[in-house]
Amino acid sequence: MKKSRRRKRTKHLFIILLIYLLAAYTAAVNFMVSAALVPSFMQKLDAFQTISDESFSELVQTDSLTENANAQSAVTDEWMDSVTHENQTVTTSDGYTLDAEIFDPAPGGTELTAQDNSHTWVLLLHGYTGWKQDMYPYACWYSRMGCHCVVPDLRAQGSSEGDFIGMGATDRYDCLLWLDRILQLDPQAKIIIHGQSMGAATALMMSGLPQLVSGQYPVTAIISDASYTDAASMFVDKAKEWFNVPPALFVPAAAVCLKLRGGYWLYSASAIDAVKKSSIPTLFIHGTEDKMIDVSACTELYDAAACRKQILLVSGAGHCQAAQADPVTYFQTIKDFAGL
């Protein structure tokens, strides 16, 4: 009788312990998802500042890079003072208002090109925890090339509403709304999509959507600068780096948690799967010294792409630093590839 009671007590204690462990595991998974993808929670943790500081520490720091970045910033400031632009919004199917700044071609016409780019539009997409202002130097260059530019804040970032950063999974569909807006403004539009980091992954994921594969939208080129291959791989890397947890134990559960809470499946956010279906000419750019997303991601994407393609690896550039490391080659390559 005593042995039976002891066994029951042990069994009950084991069940209680298991419940506590499961609760702790669930709380840890929820914390990890919120700390990486929920801006309101990230602000409480100062995660945005931590990510910014860590990202800056991983960049290549040289005098020439700093000088080129400062020169681009000065030109952008001057352009902002003279160019015509306006704020516009769209509303997603799940009720979020997304914000973008729309720029006209620079005053003085096509000062950098002999082409007539009056019907060329560029959708410029920023990276993870970024905002549209990050892409203004690129909008400046395209605008001076005679192009119109649409520069949005992606979902849950900048001035755009949203509960979860989309990692490209939701953003690829959100950005179709901006393509629709472009065609409303100019039915003759030819569209280039240019993204950095998560924005680049978003652009590549868009290329595999049926609407773009079928040619429903007149997208003539994609410029992918420092894209990852897929969001799940990024989560695996950051699980180890940011949270110091074994990815195999936590990432699949985080994906399920994100599906339940954020409404999207992490494993569906795959740029490398999308480019296998794409027919849109794509330029893949990456810095050889990128410590955030290894340059091997670029070569994997390039090898997998089914479309007309070109690769530009910029020596000495860190994450999203290719335009500062070698601006002449960077922008000339884009100009030639996109036919500007």
Residue 278: how many CA atoms within 13 Å on its side-chain side? Answer: 29
Residues 183, 247: Cα–Cα separation, whole Å: 43
User: Phi, psi at residue 4, to the nearest 5°?
Assistant: -65, -45
pLDDT of residue 59: 80
Q: Is the pLDDT of residue 54 over 80?
A: no
Of 18-22, 129-133, 275-279, which gets the smallest average pLDDT?
18-22
Are 282 and 222 within 8 A, CB to CB? yes
Are 167 and 237 within 8 A, CB to CB? no
Q: What angle do CA 139, 62, 294 make, to 5 degrees?
A: 70
State what percent of residues in the chain have pLDDT above 90: 72
Residue 23 or residue 304, greater confidence? 304
Q: Is the pLDDT of residue 114 over 60?
A: no
Residues 6, 4: Cα–Cα separation, whole Å: 5
Rounded alpha-carbon distances, angstroms, from residue 132 to 21, 65, 232, 280: 42, 22, 24, 24
- Site of tokens 């399920």: 256
Rounded alpha-carbon distances, angstroms, from residue 212 to 215, 253, 277, 292: 5, 32, 10, 29
Residues 206-233 pLDDT 10s:
999 999 999 999 999 999 999 999 999 9
Average pLDDT, the chain: 91
Of 7-21, 166-180, 317-331, which gets the smallest average pLDDT?
7-21
Residues 229, 237: Cα–Cα separation, whole Å: 12
Give the global pTM. Answer: 0.93
The band of 188, judged by pLDDT with boundaries at 50, 70 and 90, is very high
